[in-house]
Amino acid sequence: MIHRFIGAFPLDVKQFWISDGELEHQAREVLRLKPGEEIILSDGKGREARAEIISYDRKAMEVKILEVGEGINEPKAKAVLYLAILKRENFELAVQKAVEAGVSKIVPIITKRTIKLGLKKERLDKIIKEAAEQSGRSVLPELGGELNFKEAVADAKTNNLNIFFTLGAKPLDAKKDLSGKSVGIFIGPEGGWDKFETESAKAAKFVLAGLGNLVLRAETAAIIGVYETLRSRVI
């Protein structure tokens, strides 16, 4: 396995120092990578490069670029996850796994039955970055600002398609082709969607979809919902 790092790397420069103490510590002390070993560097915008570690200095790492190209692991649809704010550890888990499954953006939303507020953006940004690196991504997903439900519905109007996951609805159409499109994925809070929210989604022409007859925890629904949306439909 070749380890991957995402950052604002100058991939068009043949050889350079990465002055990032946290990255240097991760590479040298945690992963035990030695000079001469190869790594993948991604700019977080779709480009990546094979690089060789040349040397280490205090809080810096010197690398040589071997080959630059476009990342090939990204889904062919841009998925935006509109996720109701959950308890901290549950929300963080949902974000981590959604990034691994291929979302391009996570938008925290405040719904009628939202209980917890006050997300820690710095921690979520770190979780997103580590999940993107671990899963071999070349695009760093974005964490949007918090929106209330009405604002989220308005924001989603720019998507080609919006899927509103709710208990009791029919499963997604597995034949739907989302290649090259932007799709919104709406996941509700622990207590489910309010009736007004469901009616608002219908009025906005969202596709209502279910994940089976079992009642899933919100973070579980987020993970499965993203996977079900992105799997065979966009590859």
**pLDDT tens-digit readout, 89-105:** 999 999 999 999 999 99
Q: Answer left, alpha or beta for residue 32, where phi above 0 means left and psi between -120 and 50 means alpha.
A: left
Quick one: what percent of the chain has pLDDT higher than 90? Answer: 75
Tell me how far apart the alpha carbons of residues 205 and 151 are, in angstroms, rounded to a whole number. Answer: 16
At 160, list the tokens.
């080609």
With the C-alpha atoms ordered 169, 175, 152, 124, is the resulting torsion angle positive or negative?
Answer: positive
Q: What is the structure's pLDDT at 235?
A: 34
165 with 187: CB under 8 angstroms? yes
Q: Give start-end residues of each CATH 2.40.240.20 domain in the chain.
A: 4-70
Average pLDDT over the chain, rounded to whole? 91
The 3-state DSSP class for residue 109 equals strand
Q: What class is the 4-70 domain? A: mainly beta
Query: Is 3 a residue whose pLDDT tops 80?
Result: yes
The 3-state DSSP class for residue 70 equals strand
Q: What is the structure's pLDDT at 225?
A: 92
Q: Give start-end residues of each CATH 3.40.1280.10 domain in the chain.
A: 78-234
Write out pLDDT tens, residues 205-224: 999 999 888 888 999 999 99
* Mean pLDDT across 31-37: 95
Strand 15-18 and strand 60-70: the pairing is antiparallel
Q: What is the structure's pLDDT at 142?
A: 96
Residues forming beta bridges with residue 186, ordered by sequence position: 82, 164
From the options 1.10.150.80, 3.40.50.1980, 3.40.1280.10, 3.10.100.10, give the CATH code of 78-234. 3.40.1280.10
Write out pLDDT tens, residues 39-79: 999 999 999 999 999 999 988 999 999 999 998 888 888 99
Cα 16–chain centre separation: 29
Query: Is 232 a residue whose pLDDT tops 60?
Result: no
- DSSP secondary structure letter of residue 28: I
